[in-house]
Chain A
Amino acid sequence: MSAVATITDLAVSFATDAGPVRAVDGVSLDVSPGEVLAVVGESGSGKTVTAKTLLGLLPETATTRGAVVLTGRDGRETDVVHVSGAKLREARGRDVAMVFQEPSSVLNPVYTVGWQIVEGIRAHGEVSHKVARQRAVEVLRQVGIPDPEHRIDHYPHQFSGGQKQRIVIAMALVLGPSLIVADEPTTALDVTVQAEILDLLRTLRDETGTAIVLITHNMGVVADLADRVAVMYQGKVVEQAPVGELFADPQDDYTRALLKAVPRIGEGTARAVERASSRPDGWADSEPVVRADDLRIVYPGRFRQPAFTAVDGVSLTIRPGEVLGLVGESGSGKTTIARAIAGLTPVSGGSLKVLGTEMRGAKGRDLKAMRPRLGFVFQDPATSFNPLLTIAQCVAEPLVVHGRAKSAEAARRRVDELLEAVQLPRSYGDRFPHELSGGQRQRASLARGLALDPELLVADEPTSALDVSVQARVLELFAELQKELGFACLFVSHDLAVVDLLADRIAVLYRGELVEEGTGAEVLGAPREDYTRRLLASLPVPDPVAQAERREALRALQVG
């Protein structure tokens, strides 16, 4: 059987304010029926643009060259690049469908999910409402929504994030397309949910023979699902190989670098042990920089809704010079704890002592002495800098606020030192935040966090917005600086592998409660709690053979 989609020498450029920019440059790809082709690359590599071209979804500012030929189940061929709007609409849904990244923004909140699926069916030919509804129920059952006859009349907000993504997949599936394009289908989901969605995609491929083009930056997801992999870099495909071959013997330098940059569990354990052994005597008895006792944080309810308890009875300590990794899925309360330590969220119950200051009921004045001893690194480097100040002014801000320097200019020498410490050229101080890449901005953010030489640094998912190769560099820098300056650190992340790289101890949160705490070797090597085990097993590893084994282990865990 011939390919369901053939891309030949595709090139796309976009008109921007700074003239045309080329996003895709001479890409050729084939997708065979029933195959999962993963397109991997970092931001700006052109992978999403390539995927959108398959559906003709590019904006008006795009200019396209080359050919993208889709072959439907009935053998009809459509060249997406040159076809008319009407023909393209016919092909969409019937020959090719798309699963988007963020399920909650893809579904229209004012219509029931059934309505949205039926709309897709009725857009392609005269189908009676009854038949279409029957078909919608079937497809919902197929993607594993329990009780579909009843749930079909529910609205999107009545489903969980994972279920919403299942519904989006159902919408893509309902017309039986020969190809589904999935653009980062699991990026917005927690790891445990991600594992379920990947399972679903695999089952669907096996049952319906639909080919899948999987766009992702996550090597673990690739190893889990893909049959063949195309690695994209700077708008070009640099390597194409079957999945086993690619992971076992990558040919291209970039692929090798990308694989090397993926953090793996177990890498940091040795370092943590080494650090632990070099601690001075009596360290364990020293006064902790952070001590939480039965900490409770409640967000007050609004409009007669009950209050929401984000953190419930958490006790933990961070001693001087120690890195505590706080792990959990979305809604586990990890960011809330980080913000409470920085005094951004009020503490409702229990006790939280930070650098000797009790945070419960503390007013702005009480925190004055503690502020300069604490640094904070935010999750999204794009928003954590004032866009109207230069990097040097932003980094100098803590020095100016705490009276160590009169103005940003007077602090420039110290700022240059800091920029050098985070391996940024001094001249970058004169740039504005948007002129730096994500990784550079996050390093500048680290420089700002360290400007006052703090005893405690709180890092809230500092690398989750970054590409893997950039993340690897930032983490390395972070470890180096921590070793050199010896600050204590609360490192919050949803990624177990990242936390493992840096942390001395790891604390696992689940729905606001602390489930498990211990050294990396204890928590990740021999987890005691069910939840930790599930979390660990859900994390896909960038190795297809090992990942197949882990998949089986996870299934056993879920059955047992």
Chain B
Amino acid sequence: MSAAEITPVGTQGAAPEHLGGRGSWFKKLPVVHQVRQSVGLQRGMLIAGIVLVAVFVLVAVFAPLIAPYGWSQLRSLDGAFGAQQAPSAEHWFGTTVGGYDVLSRVVWGARTALLVVIVAVVSSIVVGVLLGLVSGYFGGWLDRLLVVVADAIYAFPSLLLAILLAIVISGGQSNMWGGIFAAALSITVVFIPQYFRVVRSEVVRIKGEAFVDSARVLGTGHWRIMTRHVLRNSTRTLPLIVTLNASEAILTLAGLGFLGFGIEPTAAAEWGYDLQRAIADVTSGIWWTSMFPGLAIVFTAMGVTLMGESLNDLADPRLRMRARSSKVSGDVAATSVEKGDVA
């Protein structure tokens, strides 16, 4: 056998993707990339999640255009809406016991939910990641203290904690932004330990990696090691927690509203509050006041969860499904034996 026959074949000579411009930038966008990567059931789940989330976000952003009335509007030019009206041409989803238009409340409610999710997630990420990074990197007594505090927060029922904070922050009643911040920050406190723990454990793991040792041998400063080497490598799982937390934030917000610690109906629309007001209607056969806000909560939470779960599965090579070829095919990949080594 001659040497020519055993030279590497397959991936040899192929430039890495980020250099060669194989595929456009569009295909590498975070979510687009995952959709292309997925197959079968995972792809179905992911796309369903993306569609539901997209609808939620679009409705929230374009609420003024979509909603036929304002969230606290009780009368139009033709006069008062009337309470507990069944769905009709003027009020597709009917009206509530308070005389509000259900459709408008549901549409405006998406905006409140989105704002709360954004404020809650952003503030918990900033605080949680910073604490996790410092705690994991330096260790010692500060680390032990923070871990104990995080554990203690875990031990509280999260809704109870959120109620407590809602009372502390807003005194129990509020205008729109006050309500949103009260709801968001009470959710934040529940979430910080999650980000803290995830980032801390990643940092502790990465701190022991050889490339961090290599930076220490060079005499690199702590701040540079933390930001350049440790932080960027320990945030990989965060997007997944963000999506999962977003759905939890929606549910917590609805729970707060349901228990009466949410936002006043005149300040903003809120699904949980509407549900609470609809309890009495259920027994008297008025289904529309509870069903539509309820469905909005279910679909939004489900959409975000589906997206988060599928992204989570796709990020893990062990859970990711791949298309199996029915025949033996493909090239032999180049091995670690380099060209020229064998000659």
Residues of A within 8 A of B (CB): 11-17, 19-23, 25, 42-46, 60-61, 63-65, 233-235, 238, 251-254, 257-258, 261, 342-344, 364, 367-368, 371-372, 374, 376, 378-380, 383-389, 394, 397-398, 401-402, 430-432, 435, 437-440, 448, 466-467, 469-470, 472-473
Q: Among the listed A43, A60, A238, which residue makes an inter-chain contact with B6, where contact means beta carbons less than 8 Å apart?
A: A238
Q: Among the listed B6, B210, B218, B326, which residue makes an inter-chain contact with A63, where contact means beta carbons less than 8 Å apart?
A: B326
In the complex, the answer to whether A386 meets B211 with C-beta atoms within 8 Å is yes
In the complex, the answer to whether B9 meets A384 with C-beta atoms within 8 Å is no
* Contact A469 to B335, CB < 8 A, known contacts A15-B323, A65-B327, A388-B232: no
CA distance A118 to B20 in the complex (A): 56
CA distance A402 to B215 in the complex (A): 11
Q: Among the listed B6, B220, B327, which residue makes an inter-chain contact with A233, where contact means beta carbons less than 8 Å apart?
A: B6
Select from chain B the residue with minimum beta-carbon distance to A445. Answer: B214
In the complex, the answer to whether A12 meets B18 with C-beta atoms within 8 Å is no
In the complex, the answer to whether B209 meets A401 with C-beta atoms within 8 Å is no
Q: Mind listing 24 A-B residue pairs with CB under 8 Å?
A: A13-B325, A13-B329, A13-B330, A15-B325, A17-B320, A19-B330, A22-B329, A44-B333, A233-B335, A233-B337, A252-B1, A253-B342, A254-B342, A371-B219, A378-B213, A378-B214, A386-B229, A394-B211, A397-B215, A402-B219, A448-B214, A469-B337, A470-B338, A472-B341
Q: Which residues of A contact B323 (CB under 8 A)?
A: 15
A211 to chain B, nearest CB (A): 27
B62 to chain A, nearest CB (A): 37
Q: Among the listed B9, B214, B327, B337, which residue makes an inter-chain contact with A42, where contact means beta carbons less than 8 Å apart?
A: B337
B338 to chain A, nearest CB (A): 6
* Contact A45 to B335, CB < 8 A, known contacts A15-B323, A20-B330, A401-B219: yes
How many residue pairs, one in A and one in B, have C-beta atoms under 8 Å apart? 167
Q: Which residues of A contact B220 (CB under 8 A)?
A: 397, 401
CA distance A205 to B169 in the complex (A): 77
In the complex, the answer to whether B335 meets A23 with C-beta atoms within 8 Å is no
CA distance A470 to B341 in the complex (A): 7
CA distance A12 to B323 in the complex (A): 15
Main secondary structure of the interface of B (DSSP, over half): loop
Most buried by A among B37, B221, B324: B324
Most buried by A among B229, B233, B322: B322
Judge whether B16 is part of the interface by a CB distance below 8 angstroms: yes
Select from chain A the residue with minimum beta-carbon distance to B340. Answer: A473
CA distance A344 to B327 in the complex (A): 52
**Residue total for B at the interface (Cβ-Cβ under 8 A):** 49
Q: A22-B332, A46-B332, A379-B210 are in contact. List 7 more A-B contacts (CB 8 A).
A: A21-B10, A21-B333, A43-B336, A371-B217, A383-B210, A401-B224, A466-B336
Q: Which residues of B contact A372 (CB under 8 A)?
A: 218-219
Q: Which residues of B contact A342 (CB under 8 A)?
A: 217
A235 to chain B, nearest CB (A): 5
CA distance A261 to B341 in the complex (A): 9
Judge whether B343 is part of the interface by a CB distance below 8 angstroms: yes
In the complex, the answer to whether A432 meets B18 with C-beta atoms within 8 Å is yes
Q: Which residues of B contact A435 (CB under 8 A)?
A: 16
In the complex, the answer to whether B214 meets A16 with C-beta atoms within 8 Å is no
Q: Which residues of B contact A12 (CB under 8 A)?
A: 328
* Contact A384 to B338, CB < 8 A, known contacts A21-B332, A253-B1, A342-B217: no
Q: Which residues of B contact A371 (CB under 8 A)?
A: 217-219
Select from chain B the residue with minimum beta-carbon distance to A452. Answer: B218
In the complex, the answer to whether B336 meets A467 with C-beta atoms within 8 Å is yes
Q: Which residues of B contact A11 (CB under 8 A)?
A: 328
CA distance A448 to B211 in the complex (A): 11
Judge whether B24 is part of the interface by a CB distance below 8 angstroms: no
* Contact A430 to B19, CB < 8 A, known contacts A371-B218, A380-B210: yes
Select from chain A the residue with minimum beta-carbon distance to B8. Answer: A234
* Contact A257 to B343, CB < 8 A, known contacts A42-B335, A61-B324: yes
- List residues 15-40 of chain B with CB under 8 A from any CB of chain A: 16, 18-19, 37
In the complex, the answer to whether B328 meets A13 with C-beta atoms within 8 Å is yes
CA distance A437 to B339 in the complex (A): 11
In the complex, the answer to whether B218 meets A398 with C-beta atoms within 8 Å is yes
Select from chain A the residue with minimum beta-carbon distance to B219. Answer: A371
Q: Which residues of A contact B75 (CB under 8 A)?
A: none
Query: Closest 4 A-B residue pairs measured CB to CB?
Result: A44-B335, A20-B330, A371-B219, A384-B210
* Contact A23 to B332, CB < 8 A, known contacts A233-B6, A342-B217, A397-B215: yes
A308 to chain B, nearest CB (A): 18
In the complex, the answer to whether A470 meets B336 with C-beta atoms within 8 Å is yes
Q: Among the listed A25, A251, A343, which residue makes an inter-chain contact with B332, where contact means beta carbons less than 8 Å apart?
A: A25
CA distance A94 to B229 in the complex (A): 51
Main secondary structure of the interface of A (DSSP, over half): mixed
Q: Which residues of A contact B65 (CB under 8 A)?
A: none
* Contact A388 to B324, CB < 8 A, known contacts A371-B217, A374-B217, A383-B211: no
In the complex, the answer to whether A385 meets B211 with C-beta atoms within 8 Å is yes
Q: Which residues of A contact B330 (CB under 8 A)?
A: 13-14, 19-22
Select from chain B the residue with minimum beta-carbon distance to A65. Answer: B328
CA distance A378 to B10 in the complex (A): 30
Q: Which residues of B contact A22 (CB under 8 A)?
A: 10, 328-333
In the complex, the answer to whether A17 meets B322 with C-beta atoms within 8 Å is yes
In the complex, the answer to whether B217 meets A343 with C-beta atoms within 8 Å is yes
Judge whether B2 is part of the interface by a CB distance below 8 angstroms: yes
In the complex, the answer to whether B324 meets A63 with C-beta atoms within 8 Å is yes
In the complex, the answer to whether A44 meets B336 with C-beta atoms within 8 Å is yes
* Contact A16 to B219, CB < 8 A, known contacts A44-B333, A383-B210, A470-B341: no
Judge whether B41 is part of the interface by a CB distance below 8 angstroms: no
Judge whether B144 is part of the interface by a CB distance below 8 angstroms: no
Most buried by A among B6, B214, B224, B232: B214
A7 to chain B, nearest CB (A): 14
CA distance A376 to B211 in the complex (A): 11
A22 to chain B, nearest CB (A): 5
Q: Which residues of A contact B6 (CB under 8 A)?
A: 233-234, 238, 252-254
* Contact A235 to B229, CB < 8 A, known contacts A17-B37, A368-B219, A378-B213: no
Most buried by A among B221, B224, B331: B331
- List residues 285-333 of chain B with CB under 8 A from any CB of chain A: 320, 322-333
Select from chain B the residue with minimum beta-carbon distance to A370. Answer: B219
Q: Among the listed B3, B329, B331, B337, which residue makes an inter-chain contact with A470, where contact means beta carbons less than 8 Å apart?
A: B337
* Contact A238 to B1, CB < 8 A, known contacts A378-B213, A388-B232, A401-B224: yes
Q: Which residues of A contact B9 (CB under 8 A)?
A: 234
CA distance A397 to B224 in the complex (A): 11
CA distance A13 to B221 in the complex (A): 47
A464 to chain B, nearest CB (A): 13
A503 to chain B, nearest CB (A): 22
In the complex, the answer to whether A61 meets B214 with C-beta atoms within 8 Å is no
Select from chain B the residue with minimum beta-carbon distance to A26. Answer: B328
In the complex, the answer to whether A397 meets B338 with C-beta atoms within 8 Å is no
Select from chain B the residue with minimum beta-carbon distance to A61. Answer: B322
Select from chain B the residue with minimum beta-carbon distance to A448. Answer: B214
In the complex, the answer to whether B217 meets A344 with C-beta atoms within 8 Å is yes
Select from chain A the residue with minimum beta-carbon distance to B341. Answer: A469
Q: Which residues of A contact B3 (CB under 8 A)?
A: 253
In the complex, the answer to whether A257 meets B328 with C-beta atoms within 8 Å is no
In the complex, the answer to whether B215 meets A469 with C-beta atoms within 8 Å is no
* Contact A378 to B322, CB < 8 A, known contacts A12-B328, A367-B219: no
In the complex, the answer to whether B2 meets A253 with C-beta atoms within 8 Å is yes
CA distance A234 to B218 in the complex (A): 39
In the complex, the answer to whether A437 meets B336 with C-beta atoms within 8 Å is yes
In the complex, the answer to whether B217 meets A440 with C-beta atoms within 8 Å is no
CA distance A374 to B327 in the complex (A): 54
